[in-house]
Structure 1
């Protein structure tokens, strides 16, 4: 099965904090998504995918920053009906002023720990970032790289200004370096127009503004100029997403909201 190199963890920069004039505050929550296989190419050697993704947000100004937990558990079945399991976990904390970001990422394959990465990124006064990772040489990321909360602030503000295509650079711990991205924003959808999923708590989405967005993620060292991953998602102004489509080079994964737990503001 050609699963090596796929970015199973979902970049967190798309689902953090609305900001700007008239924007709704983030609804602290835990969202559970069912995962399934969409489009696939023969080169992928994959016949099926099933699993779940959990994304949780807590924090805010009273907590000094935002904490996120993400877990993706999948069973990947090959054309020969053999299968493997992936269990990937990411946790991070971003300070409210955007000056420091720390994360832990662990990956298990068939129950065995196969990868782990712990890091802390600190922004200097000139905007450059010093990234320290356990067991690795310190690395400098350029000024202009955004942590997830900063990334979403910039995305929403530019969408509110009516910008439809723009570029931002994200660092969120899912890759060893920064990820250049190109964002395509469709016209803001009418609140209450789309049918909401039949899950408890989804009523908070009824009156929320939303944007259909597509994000292309690039490898900073690639010279081909082609994205290695794309994501289509409808982002609600309160930070909740009902579903998304994850496009890799030779396969597509669909994620659909199945459970939603809402937390009170200021929950750390």
Structure 2
């Protein structure tokens, strides 16, 4: 991964939505068991390169999805992380977001707020609409009302992209390359390169067998997944960021790894609550 001196707060904000969209992976797949749920993870520092100027990190990630394929999905997300620098400095970064994507993949609404050490650093809302799931989209940001943007034709919204990866896993796994718009960097779309593993039988994730928070997953099959996000502009050899985890067929993720390039965080599932599943008419 590339080395950088970009502050952790700038990196965390850009990685929130990719994490968000990947945690949506099978929650909208009718072929799987749809399971609206709330999951909480403890975050710890997995790795820090010299250029990261980072001594330690810890935090919480909370994720909640509700809705259905007919009504669309609403996702609430919060990631709060404390970063300790070698010089004794501390940054507490708290990012909250709410995202809605309709079942037809023709509309996306996203709003977020990020605070650093208790002070709001950034906030915005984004809307995207298009006539069909494959058409060019029209987008706008509340912070830049006079600068509308377009989403490339053929680009996938988060849920649309993840259902594609789910189908790939069910077909035996493999590699996928897609243009994705998720709102993580304003008007920018990304090239997402994904490596999807084969479906594994229940009980195959040894890490979760001793985790009480994962007890409800014992009878559920899963598969490993890694997605790397590249800028569409230029010919970058290294991704902007990368996320990986084990995904269960009811939409619950465990073993999170959020790789920002010069440092990486790991996430351990500590609490899991299943919510009522809405039914489509």
TM above 0.5, one fold?
yes
Q: Tell me by how many angstroms 1:20 deviates.
A: 10
Does residue 181 of structure 1 match 2:170? no
SS of 2:55's equivalent? strand
**Taking structure 1 as reference, are residues 55 and 135 closer, same or farther at Cα in structure 2, changes over 3 Å only?**
same
Distance 1:135 1:20 in 2: 30
Out of 49, 52, 56, the residue aligned to residue 44 of structure 1 is 52
| Counterpart residue number, 1:130 | 138
Out of 160, 182, 187, the residue aligned to residue 150 of structure 1 is 160
Distance 1:88 1:222 in 2: 29
| Structure 2 portions without partners, runs of 5+ | none
| Counterpart residue number, 1:27 | 35
SS of 2:276's equivalent? coil
Q: Tell me by how many angstroms 1:89 deviates.
A: 0.9
Q: How far does the alpha carbon of each residue in 1:42-100 deviate from its partner, in whole angstroms, 9 at most, with x for none?
A: 110000101100010001146x1100011100111001121011001111111122111
Q: Tell me by how many angstroms 1:223 deviates.
A: 3.1
| Counterpart residue number, 1:16 | 24
Contact 1:13–1:170 (CA under 8 A) maintained in structure 2: no
Contact 1:19–1:156 (CA under 8 A) maintained in structure 2: no
**Taking structure 1 as reference, are residues 45 and 21 closer, same or farther at Cα in structure 2, changes over 3 Å only?**
closer
TM-score normalised to the size of structure 2?
0.87
Length, aligned pairs only: 265
Distance 2:111 2:234 in 1: 25
| Counterpart residue number, 1:224 | 236
TM-score normalised to the size of structure 1?
0.91
| Structure 1 portions without partners, runs of 5+ | none
Aligned-pair RMSD on alpha carbons? 2.1
Larger relative helix fraction: 2
Distance 1:31 1:20 in 2: 17
| Counterpart residue number, 1:80 | 87
SS of 2:268's equivalent? strand
Q: Tell me by how many angstroms 1:32 deviates.
A: 0.4
**Taking structure 1 as reference, are residues 73 and 241 closer, same or farther at Cα in structure 2, changes over 3 Å only?**
same
Matched ranges for 1:1-268 at <5 A:
2-3=7-8, 5-6=10-11, 7-11=14-18, 12-18=20-26, 23-61=31-69, 64-125=71-132, 127-136=135-144, 137-176=147-186, 177-195=188-206, 196=208, 198-200=211-213, 202-266=214-278
SS of 1:158's equivalent? helix
